[in-house]
Amino acid sequence: MKSQWENYNKNLLEYLTVITQNNYISNLFYDTPFLVLSRAIAAIPDDAFTVTQWEEAANYLLREKIAFSSSQQAIHYLSVLGWSVSVTPYILLEDRTKFIGKSWQNKKNTI
């Protein structure tokens, strides 16, 4: 009998889309609160997806290049991040961009 995630041909983003009850992968980024994603991610066994799949998912969700040494590290990182952030990845990115912009302006003004 196939494991639940094996039906997704090792496509982690597709699997996350289905288990979070979204219609499109883009909904993971724009519409799904990180808390929901972290719960789904925490329930995935370490050996279900490769490190590369986890890196691709993290890069997509966070819009940042992240490397992991193991699937276990990726699951832990994304799960913990989700527990501390209640907004969607898109809102997180927007807030981070605004913060970095303000921070840069402050540095620019003090130089």
Number of Cβ within a 10 Å radius of residue 15: 22
Q: What is the pLDDT of residue 81?
A: 79
Lowest mean pLDDT among 7-11, 19-23, 56-60: 7-11
Q: Is the whole-model pTM more than 0.85?
A: no
pLDDT band at residue 6 using 50, 70 and 90 as cut-offs: low
Residues 6+ apart with CB under 8 A from 5: 15, 44, 45, 48, 49
**Domain ranges in the chain?**
4-110
